[in-house]
Structure 1
Amino acid sequence: MDETEPEDIAAALAEIAGAVARSLTDRRGMSFTTAATLSRLEREGPLRVTALAAAEGVAQPSMTQLVQRLETQGLATRVGDPADGRVTLVALTDAGREVLAERRRARNDTLVRLLAALSEEERRALGSAMRTALPLVRRMAGEPAPPGGPRPETA
């Protein structure tokens, strides 16, 4: 692997993302699209169904069905747009925030358990690589650095 070739770096990043995602996937829990939608509402605040659908790369009717399920589960609610009373927005509920927080705690617990299998030297090397890579990947992806330093906020 040439450490500066975009194709090689892209392949390595995709492999890392896939390996981490596979180790964290809870096939019994909520879908990736559901978790991503809730996370987006948490980050960006209330949004139109059409904006959510576009942002998550799903058809508008599919997002409408998802929002209906989230409402039924008490994880999201529809609210009026203060800027335009004719528009309805989808907002995250407190229960939705708690579900996201619990998913993050479970994800973190899983990663801690997996990292415990590495030697101290391996953890030190991985930690150093993450401190270097995370800000670069965030910048590359157009994401702002979180206040207080690196802290992934994904679902």
Structure 2
Amino acid sequence: MSTSPASGRDLSLALEKVVRLVREVSTAGDISPTAATVLGVLARTGAQRVTDLARIAGVSQPAMTQLVNRLTQQALVARVADDADRRAVLLEITAAGREVLETRRGQRARVLDAALARVSAEDRAAIAAALPALGRLVDAVLDS
């Protein structure tokens, strides 16, 4: 077993594979990865403005407005007044949006549980040991 430290390149390549896997097995709600990102952000952070969601998702404001319109029509997102600025509109996730997120997470969990069952106990232990550090790494990047 190698004891050399992980490089950013090695981690990037491994995470690209994980992201591809997550996207391929997350089909509930028939929504795009960007829509899933928006629902996830709203579930974690609460109501947001369209401009903030566009920035977080890395899309233009007009593209986010179109996406929000679709999510609103699907009843996955609702528009609400901003108590701090009555002229502004915030977006919040609905119960149906939360259900789509939970269903997608369940799909991923089932696929990953099946995959974990096919690898050695040693690999499962290494993966479990790495999870807290990966969480802290993500937090360090997103909080910076």
Pick the TM interval, shorter chain.
Answer: 0.7 to 0.9
Return the letter of the residue paired with 2:22: L
Secondary structure in structure 2 of the residue aligned to 1:89? strand
- TM-score, normalised relative to structure 1: 0.80
Q: Counterpart of 2:62?
A: 61
Q: With CA pairs under 8 Å and 6+ residues apart, which has the higher RCO, 1 or 2? A: 2
Give 1:63 deviation, angstroms. 0.2
1:140 is the counterpart of 2:143: no
- Segments of 5+ residues of structure 2 without an aligned counterpart are none
Q: Counterpart of 2:48?
A: 47
Secondary structure in structure 2 of the residue aligned to 1:25? helix
CA RMSD, aligned part only? 2.1
Structure 1 or 2: more helix by fraction: 2
For residues 44 and 139 of structure 1, do their structure 2 counterparts lie closer, same or farther at Cα, with a shift above 3 Å needed?
closer
> For each residue in 1:30-52, what CA deviation from the matched residue of structure 2 results, as whole angstroms up to 9, or x when unmatched?
21111101111111111111111
CA distance in 2: counterparts of 1:50 and 1:142, whole angstroms: 18
| Map 1:31-42 → 2, pairs under 5 A | 31-42=32-43
Percent identical pairs in the alignment equals 40
- TM-score, normalised relative to structure 2: 0.86
CA distance in 2: counterparts of 1:139 and 1:91, whole angstroms: 23
Q: Counterpart of 2:117?
A: 116
Aligned residues: 139
CA distance in 1: counterparts of 2:58 and 2:33, whole angstroms: 12
